Structure formats: structure tokens, C-alpha cells
Amino acid sequence: MERTIEFPTYRDLMKDKKILYYISRSDYFLKEMGYTDHGIKHAGWVAEKARFVLLETIGDRRKAELAGIAGLLHDIGHVISRHDHAQNGAIIAYNLLKEKGFFDDDLTEITYAIGNHEEETGIPATEVASALVIADKSHVHRSRVRDERNIFQDIHDRVNYAVLDADLEVEKENRIIRLVLRIDTEISDLLDYFSIFQPRMEMCRRATERLGFKFRLRINDTDL
């Protein structure tokens, strides 16, 4: 039987001052290091999509909420360092959520997911971790570029800037999770996209398979 939800939802946590503080501090350090936006817009998008992916695939409300919470907190490890931010973030999330009375079963689902969300070190071996990976790796968007003057020097900024629209769709009948992108190919061609995001797309594919679905990419109305 599916367990009832006995913890605050990600939307409740999005109103929590301390959690918002950690997200904004992480984003501050990332900005200083020259990375794209990882603030509440990124955290909120990833939380919403991770939750949506599990609701639409396995349909487990508790796990979907846990994926939402993992999505909200997944990048807070940047208050320590970019390197190992996934593992460090899992420990910080553990402490923040323990204070709020989360049970160990729920905490450990969240810590595993956060600790395994980066392609260099992560193995998305659970449903919650898989949903987080799919949502996080899909969030490519113009709004993540902090300064459009960088788009000619920085390939990450250029590719993000070229993406006008990004969305995740779940096609239950065909068991497909699809990332749908609209890219301005005048700004960045598809080779740019794949040259930096190929490992991410590969991780998405593995995560999607963990949910028993197939990963598909549609760019400018063309299925790839």
C-alpha cells in the first residue's frame, strides 16, 4: 500500500526562509564562479518537473513529493564547492530536513537522489533519483544566462541562450519521456548543443530506463 505523505511538500518548503537562504547563497557562489543561474527559478523548475515525471510515470505520490523536495534542494552543495556539490548538498539537505522532522526513510530517498544527480559521479538507481536527473538535465533555457554578452565566449551560455523553450512530456501509452526544445539555430547550432550536453542526455536516457520508459528528444519539431 502506498504510504501517506507525512512531511511538508516542496511547495511548503519553497516558502521556508532558511531553505530559500541556502538556495540563494548557492546561486551567489555559482554566479561568482561564472556559472549560469541556479537560483530559485532553476530549483523550482526542477522540483516541479521531477514531481511531475514521477506522478505521470509510476504514479506514486509520496515518491513524487520526495523527488520535488530533492529537486528544490539538489544544488545547495554549492555553498561548499562546485566539486562534489551533489554529495555535499545531500548532507546539507539531510540536516535541513532532519530539523523539520522528516523520517529516515524519506530523508534517505532524498539524500540518495541529491548525491547522485551529476553525470560525473551519479548513478540514478532509484525512481526518485531518476526523476531528479531527468528534470535537472532538461533545464536548459535562455533565462539561465546571467549576462548575454558572454554568449560568444562561453558555449554553455550560448547554448542556454539559444533555447527559447524547454519542456518535458510524458506519453504514457508509448512509455516515452520526451524533452521538447525550441532552439534558435542562428545563435547556436545543434552540434554545440550535443557537444556539451551529450553526457547529460546519456544520463537522462539511463534514468528514464530506470522508470521503465524510453527517453526521446524533440528539437524544433524534429524527433532525434
Residue 214: strand, helix, or coil = strand
Under the criterion CB under 5 A, does residue 119 sit at the interface with Fe ion?
no
H or E element: which one contains 215?
Answer: strand 214-219
CA distance 86 to 125: 15
Residue 161: strand, helix, or coil = helix
Write out the binding residues for Fe ion, residues 165-224 only, by CB under 5 A: none
Taking the complex as a whole, the smallest distance from the CB of residue 143 to Fe ion amounts, in Å, to 14
Taking the complex as a whole, the smallest distance from the CB of residue 223 to Fe ion amounts, in Å, to 26
Residues 183 and 190 sit within 8 Å (Cβ to Cβ): yes
Query: Between residues 31 and 214, which has the closer beta carbon with respect to Fe ion?
Result: 31
Taking the complex as a whole, the smallest distance from the CB of residue 48 to Fe ion amounts, in Å, to 13
What letter does residue 160 receive in the DSSP assignment? H
Query: Between residues 88 and 208, which has the closer beta carbon with respect to Fe ion?
Result: 88
Residues 55-94: x/- map of binding to Fe ion (CB under 5 A)? --------------------x-------------------
Taking the complex as a whole, the smallest distance from the CB of residue 126 to Fe ion amounts, in Å, to 17
Can you tell me which of 27, 65, 136, 157 binds Fe ion, judged by CB under 5 A? Answer: 136
Query: Between residues 75 and 157, which has the closer beta carbon with respect to Fe ion?
Result: 75
Question: What are the phi and psi torsion angles at 179 (to 5°)?
Answer: -95, 120
Taking the complex as a whole, the smallest distance from the CB of residue 13 to Fe ion amounts, in Å, to 16
Query: Between residues 27 and 106, which has the closer beta carbon with respect to Fe ion?
Result: 27
Under the criterion CB under 5 A, does residue 27 sit at the interface with Fe ion?
no
Question: Which one of 61-69, 128-136, 163-171, 182-190 is the stretch in contact with Fe ion (CB under 5 A)?
Answer: 128-136
CA 165 vs. chain centroid, Å, equals 16
DSSP track, 53-108: HHHHHT--HHHHHHHHHHHHHTTGGGGT-STTHHHHHHHHHHHHHHHTT--HHHHH
Under the criterion CB under 5 A, does residue 48 sit at the interface with Fe ion?
no
What is the sign of the dihedral through the CA atoms of 210, 213, 218 and 222? positive
Q: Please report, as ranges, the residues that interact with Fe ion according to CB under 5 A.
A: 75, 136
